[in-house]
Chain A
Amino acid sequence: MSVSRMLAWNEIKEHKVVYSAIIIVIALTMASFLLENAYINYMIQVVDNTVKNVTADAVITDRDCDVRDLYGTETTIHDAGKIARLVEEKLPGYRTSIRVTAQATYGVGIKNVAADACTLQGIDIHNDVCVEKIKKSLVAGRFFSDEDPILRGHTPLYIRIEGPGYLPDIVYGSGQRLLRKDPPYPVIVGAAAAKIHPSIIGVGKELDLYVSTSARGTNYACVRVKIIGLYESGTPTVDAMVWFIPDDSLREIKCYGEVEGRSWIVPGIGSFQGFNPIKVNKSMGDAILVKAPPPLLSLNPIGYSEKVRESIKRVVPDHKVFTWHDLVVYGTGSMQDVITYLLWGSMGVTLVLCGFAIKYVMDSIIIRKMREIGSLKAFGARDRMIFEIFMYQGIFIGLVSGFVGIALAILVMKIVDWIGIKMNFIAGTQLKIGFVVNWFTVAIALVLPVALSLISASIPAKRAAMLPPVEALRKGEINL
């Protein structure tokens, strides 16, 4: 052990009480920073995973689409297939899927007096970028298969009623009620919806959905669906709303393709259109989901999502591009960002105060140790050696604070995980409290206290090092 390290260690032992107090304060600050960060990461992950079930990394929509339309009312993109191929060609490593979406309502209760809503997400059951995620999140039933009645070969019945003057045109219908022999479309529903409406939602149950067939929800078709599976993504809010259906089923419901046959006009009421053969156009959709290649370093996922947006925007300048983060911000406001800023701010204030405390403690140590500093210089110690004695103490405080903080945080995470604490979530559901550790923040929790201690220690250390030996000896004698 070098002389400076030996003397630094002796100083630490002598001032163990005051150093321990500083270490505990910094360690607790770091532990709380790590815990809050890990908890926010967990919540972000819960929301992101769910949001990404719907949106992947980014979504291309029509230029008129707003972020709030992404839950089912996007305007149709007629050449979605062409755009998807273009993105895959121009951006190597990017994967695309065409999504068809719709808003739907269904009756609740014995007499269907109440209604609830859901968002239908039509997915390509083989190639959609979210297929694997949905499969992994299934908690009951099964995923779609080719044997499911995905297409019927005709449109459901709609009746368009042209509203007089100020009323919107509406469509209602009950096509499948007229043709009971039609098998119901398969759907996968969020487990949270089953908890909210257990009498009508469950694996194997059938129900009627009133599906919005136009972008802004003025046309509806009535279709019968059968629930084949329940999924649980971790966010009950979204689980309760988002239902999955094969994309071709939804194309058929929304008449995406060439409709053959004719419609009937009933004077004074409107027009009937239904039971006409339809040739589904697979290139039509409401949004194009884009999955970007994972970044090399995920230190700044929001920044990376912006890069993804810019890359896609260069390929499709006439369309809108939303990232998963847009949806998170839309869903939760900038709350997460605000909490993150507050967290960093409070940590910064505490650390600055700790920095002052370290400087103050070392200043007072130096004043009391003048005679020793003078003696060491008399024995041949160079300025650098004196500087090192105090810097080693700074490194020690920083490293121990960082490691203790990290250890405390891990301990609390393990205990919380072991106990399995749950908190109330929406609709009587419960969400388990969890943590997702970001290794970048762990590195910060180690580097920051060390940097802070070094900076705080360097000022008194330099002052001590620069003291002329005779001055240190004289002041030391005065301090006795």
Chain B
Amino acid sequence: MGKCLIELQHVTRRYGGYESEIIALDDVSLKIFAGEFVAITGPSGSGKSTLLHCMGLLDKPTEGKIIIEGRDTSKITGKDMALLRGKKIGFVFQSYNLIPRLTVMENVILPGLIIGKKREYLERRARKLLKEVGILHRMNHRGAHLSGGEQQRVAIARALINEPIIILADEPTGALDSKSSREIMDLLLEMNRSKGVTVVFVSHDPMVARYGRRRLEMKDGAIVKDRKIK
């Protein structure tokens, strides 16, 4: 087992006021280790996305701690939090979230530019990544002109640009047909196997969830099953 990358200690996330309070995460403790390929499943409203957002420092837990590579994130400033997010975590979204006016190349290097990396280096790396995800030939096209599957490939390359310790994918195949879904999941798995990139993804699709080597099942804000598949 690799080293622990992300650790959640008794994380609770509540929304709303006193009378209309919703408990999205209820005292969740979890460790994600390097090299894992983790699927989070569960019915709608079970807290899958909230868990992913908390792990990705996009959301703050109401209670509990999130530790990333041994660093307690509850004690760092917003500025450092943004930097940590940019450097350590890659995101893949259900709706791809490419910036439509930017080219594929510009979209891929954007996270690197944000954290202050050199453009030349980023473009070299982006070419390599785009080749790996099979979309290099479209690097000068605008994001808006690509198909859903192609956009998600670009999003995966973008997630990898800053060499993150982990990729968090929220319903990465949610907007794709089954063929494209398989291709994207194969690609993520390939990245995990060949590069050792740790991947945590959320899906309510059983076919997609089967890709997970470790499967977390959630219900009512809690992890009810945590299985490792050999």
Contacts and interface: CB of A to CB of B under 8 A. Distances in A.
Contacts of A145: none
Interface residues of B, number: 27
Contacts of B22: none
Interface in A347-388: 371-372, 374-383, 385
Between B94, B101, B102, the greatest number of chain A beta carbons within 10 A of the residue's beta carbon is seen for: B101
A372 B83 CA distance: 18
Interface string B156-198: 0000001000000000000000000000000000000000000
A189 interface: no
Contacts of B127: none
Given A14-B101, A470-B53, A378 B58 contact: yes
Contact of B82 (A371, A372, A381): A381
A4 to B, nearest CB: 9
- Interface of chain A: mostly helix, strand, loop or mixed: helix
B201 interface: no
A379 B95 contact: no
Given A375-B97, A470-B58, A382 B113 contact: no
Contact of B93 (A3, A468, A473): A473
A10 B78 contact: no
B88 to A, nearest CB: 9
A186 interface: no
Interface residues of A, number: 26
A113 interface: no
Contacts of A470: 53, 58-59
Nearest to A480: B95
B72 to A, nearest CB: 19
B59 A380 contact: no
A378 B56 contact: yes
Nearest to B168: A378
Contacts of A375: 91, 93, 97, 99
A473 B58 contact: yes
A3 B97 contact: no
A3 B53 contact: no
Nearest to B83: A380
B78 A383 contact: yes
B114 interface: yes
Contacts of A383: 78, 82
A468 B81 CA distance: 12
Interface in B84-118: 85-87, 89, 91, 93-95, 97, 99, 101-102, 110-111, 113-115
A415 to B, nearest CB: 38
Contacts of A468: 58-60
B79 interface: yes
Interface in A379-407: 379-383, 385
B114 A477 contact: no
A469 interface: yes
B79 A382 contact: yes
B85 A380 contact: yes
A380 B86 contact: yes
A3 B58 contact: no
A62 B53 CA distance: 86
Contact of B113 (A3, A372, A378, A477): A3
B95 A477 contact: yes
A152 B129 CA distance: 106
Contacts of A371: 95, 97
A294 B131 CA distance: 72
Contacts of B102: 10
Nearest to B159: A379
A13 interface: yes
Contact of A379 (B53, B60, B111): B111
Contacts of A382: 78-79, 82-83
A287 B12 CA distance: 90
B110 A372 contact: no
B95 A376 contact: no
Contacts of B56: 378
Interface in A269-307: none
A27 B93 CA distance: 42
Contacts of B94: 477
Interface string A1-28: 0010011001001100000000000000
Contacts of A374: 58, 97
A374 B115 CA distance: 16
Nearest to B113: A3
B91 A378 contact: yes
Contacts of A381: 82, 86, 114
B151 to A, nearest CB: 13
A6 B86 CA distance: 18
Nearest to A375: B97
Contacts of B79: 382
B91 A377 contact: no
6 smallest CB-CB distances across A and B, nearest first, come from: A380-B86, A379-B111, A470-B59, A375-B97, A470-B58, A469-B58
Given A374-B97, A376-B114, A381-B86, 20 more contacts: A3-B113, A3-B114, A10-B99, A14-B101, A371-B97, A372-B99, A377-B58, A377-B85, A378-B58, A379-B91, A379-B114, A380-B83, A380-B85, A380-B87, A381-B82, A381-B114, A382-B79, A382-B83, A469-B59, A477-B95
10 contacts: A371-B95, A374-B58, A375-B97, A377-B85, A378-B56, A378-B58, A378-B91, A379-B91, A382-B79, A469-B58
Interface of B: 53, 56, 58-60, 78-79, 82-83, 85-87, 89, 91, 93-95, 97, 99, 101-102, 110-111, 113-115, 162
